[in-house]
Structure 1
Amino acid sequence: MDSSYKARKEAFVSNLSGGSILEINAVTLVAPAAVLLWSALQSRLSFFTPSSPAALATDFLLNVLAILFATTIYSSAPWTLNLLLIAPALLLLLNSRPPRSQQKAKPPPKAKPADKDASRVAESLPIHPFLTTYRAAMMIITCVAILAVDFPVFPRRFAKAENWGTSLMDLGVGSFVFSGGVVSARSVLKGRSNGAPKAPLWQRLVSSTRHSVPLLVLGLIRLYSVKGLDYAEHVTEYGVHWNFFFTLGLLPPFVEIFDALAIFIPSYEVLSLGVAVLYQVALESTDLKSYILVSPRGPDLLSKNREGVFSFLGYFAIFLAGRATGIRVIPRGTSPTKTPQQARKGVLVTLGIQALSWTAIFVLNSTYALGWGANFPVSRRMANMPYVVWVSAFNSAQLFLFCLLETVFFPSVHRTSGKDGEAERVSLATSRIMKAFNKGGLAIFLVANLLTGAVNLSVPTLDVNTAPALAILVGYAAVLTGIALGLDRADIKLAF
């Protein structure tokens, strides 16, 4: 890569200060708004069942291109795009009725005593379409942003902030980790449902490390490819050698080590807050903050990679917060005294309370809050406490919206407490594209990184105007979607 162009590329993503949280919320609301329209079309018209070329194109337009457009050509008018998605959904709802099969689910057949014991664990941990949709939307916006950020059509205020500030990409990185924490709760819940004693720590470490190896290998591949190709890099993002794959790969083993504390502190929310608070205290009461932000880089590995090493503590706290959410929302929650409707209401209330609680902590942490707040600025570079609670608040709110949409439009998903017919109910309530992005997340993220590198090595992205940039980005999104659908058709699952 030409040295002058490389310097321009690095300057293009450096020394940025982000944008407002209100604007970020407006942009990210496009994903739930698109799901609202998809749900209205599916629940009222069965538009996506059976799948057809027109249905697949509409699915792609709503759940992939809407997010792309929100971050590019509609970046200055996100509320207009939200209105374009919400208005037709409301018109459809006002002028149609749901099919009778959607109004009331059939009661499940009575299971034999032998079958009850065999399927008890599976029935207690159902498949939730809203979780699939949430994780897929997060994956799509992440994949879109990692390439779009290299084009001028992607606003600089959406790119990662240098030291302080909030931005769309800052939020995306944390959301990726939070999402991983949510699904990690399933393994914890399976162990609790089985009633078997917890495996020794060394066995759990071996198992978690086995899952981490692919991510660590990808981190090494990215490290050597970036250095070998002289690719433009933003050193203050994670450090000289560290990258996001290393952060993702080291989280599972550290969680297993830390999980021993759950015996004494059974609330993962408390564990998450504890880590975030202790880390923030260290930043404010020692020289750690200045060491991370302004200290000269020494010859040792810690100094060269201090951003990645110390921000890992913040991402660890985010992962624990995600696991706390997963433990509360994944179980079916029914019992002899609690109906499926009551259980779903409990999930919505839980998510609402979590979103409000994390938001309140964020306000107290990052503003003066009428003289009671600490007024610490958000820093993704350090992954400090305000960043941790901001990410947790946002993701809890997103989960609440997706869960609410599923509850309203597809009540049969949660009103039946058995596994019988679950696949059909879940399929009805889940976008084919969203299912594919969720199922093949790891492979898709790897391909997205490879394609991003290929585009940047072959196209002078800094000098590409809006129309050709959008053409490249739409083509890139289409290729990723095609790969996701191909993996799903082949029944290959490579999720985080």
Structure 2
Amino acid sequence: MARDDKAQKIEWVSNLMGSSVADINSVSLVMTLSILLWSVLQSRMRLFSPYTPVACLIDFLLSCGAILFATTLYSSSPWLLNMLLLLPAAIVFVTCRTAPFPPSHLRPPAKNGVAKQSPQDRLPFKPFVTHYRASMLIVTCVAILAVDFRVFPRRFAKVENWGTSLMDLGVGSFVFTSGVVSVRAWLKTEATNRPGLWNRLVSSFRHSLPLLVLGVIRLISVKGLDYAEHVTEYGVHWNFFFTLGFLPPFVAFFQSAFDIVPSYAVLSCVLGVLYEIALDNTRLKAYILIGPRTNLLSQNREGIFSFLGYLAIFLAGQSVGSFILPRQQSLRKDASIVDVVKHTTLGKLMFSALIWSTLFYVSISYYGFGLSVSRRLANLPYFLWVTSFNTAQLALCCAIEHLCFPNIYKAASKEEEVQRSKRATSPILFAFNRNGLIIFLVANLLTGLVNLTMPTLRMGDLQSMAILVAYITIIAGFALVLNMLDVSIKL
């Protein structure tokens, strides 16, 4: 890459002002309405069963195309794209009745005439979690390449020091979603049979090693190819793969603290508050923002210290995962609103979103702490912003599932529940969710290839969109092929 192009690209993706939370929410609304339209088409018309090539194309346009256009061509008029998604969903929902699926005969009758049925899973597969996680991954994959084209609004790029942006939210959301699903293994084990600290550390380092290796590979390739990079994002040598790689060992330590404070939410808040106190009452904030880069620590101070904020986000994700992944309790017909909030997944999510949003408002309000969001520091407001947004997004996805597929978890057998869950899940989003980390890696490799071979900042809108459509099509195709081959690559 030419020196002038490199400097121009670094200057272009620098975002000094950020974008409003409402601007970011408009993109998230497109993502939510895409899931709503897919769910309505499936529940009312069975459009994706069977999964024909036409159904696959529509699935791709809703799952990937809508997000791509929301962050590029429709970024200045998101309301138009929202209406294009909302109106068909409303019309189909109102005018069409729920289309029944044919009964599934998954097991032959037993010799005594009674079919043998498996007991229900304590941690069932939940389509709304898959839709949420995969959509967040698609937004991230789109943004990491689109940011290098002028068709992508500059206000969506990562903010230099203070403020909010779409890509700042994407980084934190990636960590949050990892925390949501990581707690599944913890929930599967009984409290009395859980491994000790040493065994947890050994196991966590095994999971961390591939990510740390990827971090080293990315470091060598970026430096060797003279790739455009922001030193103020993570530091001279640090990158996002190192942040992901060091999370499991530290989480293993906090699982010991969980025995004393049995709440991941409280632990995450304690960590976030202590880190913010250190930033505001010591020279740590000045050191991170304007300190000289004289040694290995100071050269990578952004990545090292922001890790504390990302760890708090990961723990907050675990707190949400701990109550949305288990099977929901049955409610009495005369259950009160308090019972609904305490014992239903949707009620808990809505209450949690309210609490996290209130805490975020208090942290940034003039009448509260008056703090500013900083992704570079991963400070307390950033932690609360990411957590409140993702909890609210999960609540919306859960509400859509309740609206369109209310009988998923009322199946008589485990096999029937699995079939209902598959029918309520977008195949493309399922494929993205199944191999999320390897897909993210492939997206990074393709992003590097495009930037090293094409003058992205000099391209017009038509050329840019052609490349971006081809890029997301390749990634979606890769995800679908892995899923069709029944391949799960766990790093």
Q: TM-score, normalised by structure 1?
A: 0.93
Which residue of the partner structure matches residue 114 of structure 1?
A: none
How far did 1:344 drift? 10
Match of 2:396 among 397, 401, 423: 401
1:101-112 superposed matches below 5 A: none
**Residues 288 and 302 of structure 2 are in contact (CA less than 8 Å); yes or no, is this contact kept in structure 1?**
yes
Q: Distance in 2 between matches of 1:49 and 1:417?
A: 22
| 1:115 aligned residue | none
**For each residue in 1:19-62, what CA deviation from the matched residue of structure 2 results, as whole angstroms up to 9, or x when unmatched?**
00011001111111001111111111100000111100000001
Equivalent in the alignment of 1:64? 64
Equivalent position amino acid for 1:236 in 2: T
Asked if 2 retains the 8 angstrom alpha-carbon contact of 1:123 and 1:417, the reply is no
Q: 1:467–1:253: structure 2 CA closer, same or farther, 3 Å change rule?
A: same
Partner residue in 2 for 1:480: 475
What is aligned with 1:332?
A: 327
**Equivalent residue runs for 1:192-211 within 5 Å:** 192=190, 196-211=192-207
How far does the alpha carbon of each residue in 1:118-163 deviate from its partner, in whole angstroms, 9 at most, with x for none?
976x711000000111110011000000000000000010000000
Which residue number in structure 2 is paired with residue 425 of structure 1? 420
Decide which moves more: 24-33 or 236-245.
Answer: 24-33
Deviations 1:276-317 (A, max 9, x none): 00000000000000000011111x111000000000000000
Q: Is the 8 A contact 1:332 1:417 kept in 2?
A: no
State the shift of 1:275 in Å: 0.3
Match of 1:267 among 250, 260, 263: 263
**Is contact 1:16-1:159 (8 Å) kept?**
no
Distance in 2 separating the partners of 1:210 and 1:418: 36
- Consecutive unaligned residues of structure 2, counting only runs of 5 or more, are 111-116
Do the aligned residues in 2 keep the contact of 1:148 with 1:154 (CA within 8 Å)? Answer: yes
2:385 corresponds to 1:387: no
How many pairs are equivalent? 481
Instruction: Give the structure 1 partner of residue 133 of structure 2.
Output: 135
1:175 is aligned to: 173
Q: Alignment identity in percent?
A: 55
Query: Which position in structure 1 is the counterpart of 2:114?
Result: none
Once the 2 structures are TM-superposed, how far is the Cα of residue 494 of structure 1 from its aligned partner?
2.6
Q: CA–CA distance in 2 between the matches of 1:228 and 1:391?
A: 34
**Residue of structure 1 equivalent to 2:441:** 446
Mapped to 2, the partners of 1:101 and 1:7 lie a distance apart of: 57
SS at structure 1 position matched to 2:487: coil
C-alpha separation in 2, matches of 1:421 and 1:343: 28
Q: CA deviation at 1:213?
A: 1.1
Letter in 2 for 1:8: Q
Provide closer, same or farther for how the CA distance between residues 136 and 425 of structure 1 changes in structure 2, counting only shifts above 3 A: same
In 2, the alpha carbon distance for the partners of 1:159 and 1:343 equals 37
For residues 68 and 285 of structure 2, the distance between their equivalents in structure 1, rounded to whole angstroms, comes to 35
Q: Which moved more, 1:29-38 or 1:15-24?
A: 15-24
| 1:364 Cα deviation after fit | 0.5
Match of 1:229 in 2: 225
Output one character per residue of 1:373-418: Cα deviation in whole Å (capped at 9) or x when no partner: 1110000000000000000000001100111111111122122374
Using a 3 Å threshold, how does the CA distance of structure 1 residues 43 and 487 change in structure 2: closer, same or farther? Answer: same
Q: 2:201–2:252: 8 Å Cα contact kept in structure 1?
A: yes
- Cα separation, 1, equivalents of 2:257 and 2:223: 40
Tell me the CA shift for residue 15 of structure 1.
Answer: 4.8
Q: What are the superposed Cα offsets for residues 1-22 of structure 1, whole Å, 9 maximum, x if unpaired?
A: 2111111111112252210001
The 3 A distance-change label for structure 1 pair 441 and 208 is same
Counterpart amino acid of residue 398 in structure 2: C
Task: Output one character per residue of 1:225-266: Cα deviation in whole Å (capped at 9) or x when no partner.
Answer: 000001111100000000000000110110001210001100
Amino acid at match of 2:310: Y
Alpha carbons 1:333, 1:343 under 8 Å: kept: no
The one-character-per-residue Cα deviations of 1:144-193 (angstroms, maximum 9, x if unpaired) are 0000000000001000000000000000000000000000110111013x
The corresponding residue for 1:296 is: 292
Q: 1:420 to 1:336 in 2, by over 3 A?
A: farther
Q: Is 1:166–1:378's contact at 8 Å kept on the other side of the alignment?
A: yes
Q: Pairwise CA RMSD of aligned residues?
A: 2.5
Choose the corresponding residue for 2:310, options 315, 318, 322: 315
The equivalent residue for 1:239 is 235
In structure 1, what residue type is equivalent to 2:36? L
Query: Aligned in 2, Cα 1:16/1:259: closer, same or farther, shift over 3 Å?
Result: same
1:190 to 2:188 alignment: yes
Would you say the 8 A contact 1:277–1:385 is kept in 2?
yes
Contact 2:409 2:417 in 1 (8 A): no
For residues 435-494 of structure 1, what are the alpha-carbon distances to aligned partners after superposition, in whole Å with 9 as ceiling and x for unaligned? 000011111111100000000000001101101000000000000000000110111113
Cα deviation for residue 105 of structure 1 reads 12
State the distance in 2 between where 1:141 and 1:288 align: 32
**Structure 2 length as normaliser, TM-score?**
0.94
Name the structure 2 match of 1:157.
155
